[in-house]
Amino acid sequence: MKKISLILIGLILAVNFPGNACTTAVISGKYTPDGRPLLWKHRDTGFLNNKMVYFDDGKYSYTGLVNSKDTENKSIWIGFNSEGFAIMNSASYNLNNDTIIQSGLEGRLMKKALQTCASIDDFEELLKSLEQPIKLEANYGVIDANGGAAYFELGNFKYEKIDANDPKIAPYGYVLRTNYSTTGKMGIGGGYIRFETADHVLKMAVKENNLTAKTIIQKASHSLYHSLTKLDLNDYSEIAENTETFVSFEDFIPRKSSSSSVVIQGVSQGEDPAYSTMWTVLGWPLSTVCVPIWINPKAGFPSLFQYDEKIQDSPMCHIGMELKKECFPYEWGTSSKKYMNVNALVNANNSGMLQILQPFEDDIFAKAEALLESWRTTKINFSEMADFYDWIDREVPAFYNKNFDIQIEFP
């Protein structure tokens, strides 16, 4: 009976593997233009509906991304807390070669870390306290307000710390992880193609001194380039609008299974952790705009990002999911998920989703960055923060209803 159980678990992992295909990075503040570290997670999962939740149930208050179906908010999939500590993960599939056991506890560990950890050292102590076998196989990325930036490749019986501040390990100031670990057996696992795509984007950003949250979202999370085939789907932008043009959509950074993309911008050493910013794309990243979120119980955060009982989702995620349907209209057979209508994203008439969304997203970034610059020279103005969130709740729905030929109901 035990052998049968292990086989079944292995089959479950094999079936679920394609959906859990995150692309992530930990970036040292030494290589960003403003000296602040970054934590990036482009999330792929079978749980496509996500929400943002504020918590005060631990030693520290924190905000995190939660599956909308997780009504008890037991797991966090990327988040940051009031001390400037931030954490995310990507599933790994080449660490636990000595056992098949894996129980999907990644999100619960991240919730525990946000509740109790103020620093990377605290997180390492938490890992040391876990009972073995840990029943996990993941790459955990963390940053803190002390300038720390590292990955922990965590298996059932050991972990390895990879320091993004070490130039021998990270000569360009960043460490990337997809769905394998460098301390595991190479050649197995997944995400090697996505790794190369993301590495090219980040390396160019370093050379141009432009390694920012905006660059990561718009150049990596929105990337239509395939590093193995050298295919760039932007080349289809010369085709007139309303001309269905299907392409195989496999092993790009954004995938049909992408549910969000988040960059947490930390603080420089000595800076108030309250300035930490979670640049959040909640919903399919190619149809949803990026909005900043800060931790503050007085201002909260936009209602678009909060769970709505009527739709059993966050409105922002709902918007992205509705528009996403235009990119995947072919629904015949099991292979339908592999083919995307690229004409809905880019076309010769500049009416593709990405072409319409980016100018508005640029405006959101500009407004938010102006607020941050002002607050850093004085102090955070909670009234201005609340006004900005009100602007988001008002202007984002208005923008979508005005610019897209689709009926979207906003709760």
pTM over cut 0.85: yes
| Residue 240: other Cβ atoms inside 10 A | 11
Give the DSSP H or E segment for 232: none
The pLDDT of residue 407 is 61
- Using one digit for the tens of pLDDT, what is the confidence trace for 6-25? 333 333 343 344 457 899 99
**pLDDT at residue 143 above 60?**
yes
CATH number of 2-302+314-403: 3.60.60.10
The pLDDT of residue 348 is 98
**What are the b/e assignments for 250-259, b being 16+ CB within 10 Å?**
bbbbbbbbbb
CA distances to 63, 85, 289, 411 from 316, rounded to whole Å, are: 17, 25, 9, 11
The amino acid sitting at 175 is V
The pLDDT of residue 298 is 83
- Using one digit for the tens of pLDDT, what is the confidence trace for 192-213? 999 999 999 999 999 999 999 9
The pLDDT of residue 102 is 59
| 71 — pLDDT class (breaks 50, 70, 90) | very high
**pLDDT at residue 1 above 60?**
no
For the residues 150-177, what does the mean pLDDT come to?
96
- Using one digit for the tens of pLDDT, what is the confidence trace for 249-295? 999 999 999 999 999 999 999 999 999 999 999 999 999 999 999 99
- Using one digit for the tens of pLDDT, what is the confidence trace for 341-389? 999 999 999 999 999 999 999 999 999 999 999 999 999 999 999 999 9
| Residue 20: other Cβ atoms inside 10 A | 22
- Using one digit for the tens of pLDDT, what is the confidence trace for 111-136? 999 999 999 999 999 999 999 999 99
The pLDDT of residue 98 is 64
**pLDDT at residue 37 above 80?**
yes
Largest CA distance in the chain: 65
Q: Pick the residue with more confidence: 334 or 328? A: 328
Check: CB of residue 213 under 8 Å from CB of residue 16. Answer: no
11 backbone φψ class: left, alpha, beta (φ>0; ψ -120 to 50): alpha
The pLDDT of residue 16 is 40
